[in-house]
Amino acid sequence: EAQVTQNPRYLITVTGKKLTVTCSQNMNHEYMSWYRQDPGLGLRQIYYSMNVEVTDKGDVPEGYKVSRKEKRNFPLILESPSPNQTSLYFCASRERGGRHEQFFGPGTRLTVL
């Protein structure tokens, strides 16, 4: 089954404790991205990657890092989480070009205390 998976689905952590949210897709998509969803703000792009070893900042990259060592994986790293990073996070992937649909993962709800 074609899908985007994220882990963990739920996470409660404390300020300053490094964490990684994993994202994996099995569709051989070149393009992957991370979004955060906050009430009244919709989804905002954090980082994106157009291919292996090619990553770039989205609209709200502060406090986040990403890496793209393999085509299928695109982890999101919070080196020192803060309470304002409490949010719902979505990973997405799509083929490059055309109208290709962006496939979303199920989301990771992160709470930083």
* Rounded Cα–Cα distance for residues 54 and 61 (Å): 15
From the CB of 113, what's the least distance to another protein, in Å?
22
CA–CA distance, 70 with 95 (Å, rounded to integer): 15
- The answer to the question of residue 16 lying near another protein (CB under 8 A) is no
Tokens of 50: 């157009």
Closest CB to another protein among residues 14, 44: 44
Query: Does position 50 bind another protein by CB under 8 A?
Result: yes
* Size (the chain), residues: 113
**Selected binder of another protein within 15, 84, 96, 113 (CB under 8 A):** 96
Amino acid at 1: E
Residue 107 touches another protein, criterion: CB under 8 A: yes
